[in-house]
Amino acid sequence: MKKKIIPVLVAVFLILVIGAVTVGSMLYEKYSYSTERADLDEYFGVTGDQLAIVLQDDMIAKKAILRNGICYFDLDTVHRYLNEGFYVDYTEDLLLYTTAVEIISVSMGGSIVNSKGAVNETPQTQELGYVAVFEENDQIYVAADYVRRFTNYSVEIFDHHVQVYTQWSVREVDTLKKDSQVRLRGGIKSPILCDLKAGATVEILDKMETWCKVKTEDSIIGYVEIKMLSLASQGQTDTVQEIPVTDYVEPEYTSRAMEGKVSLGWHAIGGVGGNSTLESTVAGANGMNVIAPTWFSLNDEEGNFRSYASKDYVDRAHAMGLKVWGVWDDFNYNLDTGSSVSVLAVLSKTSTRQRLVGNMITTALTLGLDGVNLDFEKITEDSGPHYAQFVRELSVECRKNGLTLSIDNYVPYDFRDYYRLDVQGKVADYVIIMGYDEHWRGSGNPGSVASIGFVSNGIAKALEDVPANKLMNALPFYTILWKTDGTKVTDDYLTLNNTADFVARLKLTPVWDNETCQNYAEWTSGSVKYQLWLEDEESIAAKLGVMAAQNIAGVAVWRLGYGTESVWNLIRGYVSQ
């Protein structure tokens, strides 16, 4: 009997041992810490000479590269996160940066920096000791250290990544009580990112129930158990104030502001003979203190322009107490001759663009102009970056030579962001919004030229990028007479000073429209429907009221010769406030 029981006991014992081992293994597997190590190349998503970019506390999608011990960012990353002021000339292989007082350039693949305070100056040179910029696989890369010459940010390079800070704040920190690991995710089975020694400092990014998201001193982001932290394990915290980088001091963008509000009138001049009309054109323009003759228009792609300018005109205007801001445009030569001039071709080539700037300044100084009024209305999205650089370079020259720089713009909409009102608001003295052409001649779409909503919204939108003391709004001294015959829409201009006679002659009775803040008239003759949204004393008064409420820098009018005494008296009252 005993012989039969012994094998059974042995079997039971073995079963218990196996069960205990199995349970123990399961418990060990469940509660033991994984020793698996994460692949850091995979974690950072890098191959070859790539470096991941940790911006503040987040890893961004873009990668840096390391060449000869120098960290390089692609230009898109520089523009988006660090400094949008860098400009690339793909035609002449240059990288440019423009401050308030100088233009700095370096050739593609080069290490010699050229700096000049004016486009015609001989540049000063400096050897960097490293390649500042190069192109590879249709991508422009800029050295991180070169970006730091014009930008306050910090950069630190590690084996797989680079840490970048552009903002500084108070951060929560803690130290390790004992040796531990930073893991990919919260959980003891998560792969190990790195080991930490007791006393190592980590930044606390987030706290969970038993784990903390941390960043190590070499900017590896992962998870550590709270029980391993000196303060967090006791429900306590410690903080440190980061020290901002302030190495770069940007030169000040000084502005030439007129005393009081500006009242500008554009003088449309279609030939040299038009200069003789100065006195008759300004007669009755009460309160006007700046006249802007439309003298100059691009006429080739080499940086030249047609000119109807007259030194005698400038002297006569000065004798009347008027400032003279010469107008440079990109469309009148084409309208007059039919000859096409590519603004993109002119502005996208540095040598041509700077030749244009130099010619403008030389002309302005020779004539004795007080300022430059830039009226480029044919800018397209592809020419936008070149136009912004043109504005920067022109502002340097105007600032250096004591010329006021004003820039004309359409009423801003998102689809015209490439005109860069933010850049203009920084570098120009005045930014003028042409507060008209809500409905324009030839559009086939009858409506107001400048309803009060159109004007007020345009000013509000512009003020998002332009300081109020630099912003001006331009008023239309004209109305469009709309004629609709079936599906055919035609139109004619009525000048403000002819409108009253027109209304009286046709015995019209316009009715005030609160939505547009304009007097509206509508009538039919045969099969033709006529519509007028009038610009008159009442509509102009409403617009000036909006401008006064926003306390902007002044008013412009298109154009001289179209106004009435009553409206000019309103403008005089506005600028004298």
**Residue 554 and residue 263 in contact, taking contact as beta carbons nearer than 8 Å:** yes
Looking at 341-451, list the stretches that DSSP marks H as alpha helix, in order from N- to C-terminal side. Answer: 343-347, 350-367, 384-401, 421-427
* CA distances in angstroms from 211 to 44, 156, 230, 235, listed in the order given: 22, 27, 13, 13
Strand partners, 373: 327, 406
Please give the single-letter amino acid code of residue 140: I
- Residues 449-467 pLDDT 10s: 999 999 999 999 999 999 9
- The mean pLDDT value for 350-364 works out to 98
Contacts 24+ apart (CB under 8 A), 398-401: 398/361, 398/371, 398/372, 398/429, 399/100, 399/101, 399/253, 399/254, 399/256, 400/101, 400/117, 400/118, 401/361, 401/364, 401/365
Q: Angle at the Cα of 216 (from 67 to 168), degrees rounded to 5?
A: 80
Radius of gyration of the chain (CA): 35
What CA–CA distance (Å, rounded) separates 379 from 517?
Answer: 31
- Residues 54-80 pLDDT 10s: 999 999 999 999 999 999 999 999 999
What CA–CA distance (Å, rounded) separates 423 from 405?
Answer: 13
pLDDT band, residue 553 (cuts 50/70/90): very high
- Length reported for the chain: 577
* CA distances in angstroms from 14 to 4, 17, 22, 312, 561, listed in the order given: 16, 5, 12, 117, 113
Q: Mind listing the domains of the chain with CATH numbers?
A: 43-161 (no CATH), 168-241 (2.30.30.40), 262-437+451-473+539-565 (3.20.20.80)
- The mean pLDDT value for 398-423 works out to 97
What CA–CA distance (Å, rounded) separates 125 from 106?
Answer: 10
Bridge-based pairing state of the strands 87-89 and 192-196:
unpaired
Average pLDDT, the chain: 95
Give first-to-last CA distance, the chain, whole Å: 122
- Residues 434-453 pLDDT 10s: 999 999 999 999 999 999 99
| Per-position DSSP letters for 478-531, written without gaps between them | EEEEEEEETTEEEEEEEEHHHHHHHHHHTT---EEETTTTEEEEEEEETTEEEE
**Residue 229 and residue 212 in contact, taking contact as beta carbons nearer than 8 Å:** yes
* Non-local CB neighbours of 225 within 8 Å, separated by 6+ positions: 180, 188, 210, 211, 212
Q: At what angle are helices 350-367 and 311-319 packed, to 10 degrees?
A: 50
Task: Show the tokens assigned to 455.
Answer: 């004007």
Helix (H) or strand (E) holding 136: strand 133-136
Outline where DSSP puts E strands in 294-340.
296-298, 305-307, 323-329
What CA–CA distance (Å, rounded) separates 228 from 199?
Answer: 10
Range scoring the smallest mean pLDDT among 24-33, 52-61, 81-90, 207-216: 24-33
The predicted pLDDT at position 403 comes to 98
Q: Is the pLDDT of residue 328 over 90?
A: yes
DSSP 176: B
What CA–CA distance (Å, rounded) separates 248 from 149?
Answer: 7
- Residues 477-524 pLDDT 10s: 999 999 999 999 999 999 999 999 999 999 999 999 999 999 999 999
* CA distances in angstroms from 495 to 199, 303, 462, 473, 481, listed in the order given: 81, 35, 27, 19, 10
What CA–CA distance (Å, rounded) separates 205 from 216?
Answer: 10
Short-list 187, 78, 201, CA closest to 143: 78
The predicted pLDDT at position 194 comes to 97
The predicted pLDDT at position 120 comes to 85
What CA–CA distance (Å, rounded) separates 410 from 184?
Answer: 52
Largest CA-CA distance found in the chain, in angstroms, rounded:
139
Q: Is the pLDDT of residue 28 over 50?
A: no
Please give the single-letter amino acid code of residue 26: M
Bridge-based pairing state of the strands 94-98 and 103-107:
antiparallel
- The mean pLDDT value for 217-236 works out to 97
Q: Is the pLDDT of residue 27 over 60?
A: no
- Residues 166-192 pLDDT 10s: 999 999 999 999 999 999 999 999 999
- The mean pLDDT value for 357-371 works out to 98
Bridge-based pairing state of the strands 323-329 and 305-307:
unpaired
Q: Is the pLDDT of residue 392 over 60?
A: yes
Q: 3-class DSSP state for residue 287?
A: coil
Please give the single-letter amino acid code of residue 486: G
- The mean pLDDT value for 310-327 works out to 98
**Residue 215 and residue 221 in contact, taking contact as beta carbons nearer than 8 Å:** yes
Please give the single-letter amino acid code of residue 4: K
* CA distances in angstroms from 468 to 210, 396, 404, 413, 421, listed in the order given: 53, 22, 17, 18, 13
Residues of the chain with pLDDT > 90, as a percent, come to 94
Q: At what angle are helices 537-550 and 565-575 packed, to 10 degrees?
A: 10
Strand partners, 518: 513
pLDDT band, residue 30 (cuts 50/70/90): low
What CA–CA distance (Å, rounded) separates 39 from 43?
Answer: 6
Helix (H) or strand (E) holding 54: strand 50-55
The predicted pLDDT at position 351 comes to 98
**Residue 451 and residue 518 in contact, taking contact as beta carbons nearer than 8 Å:** yes
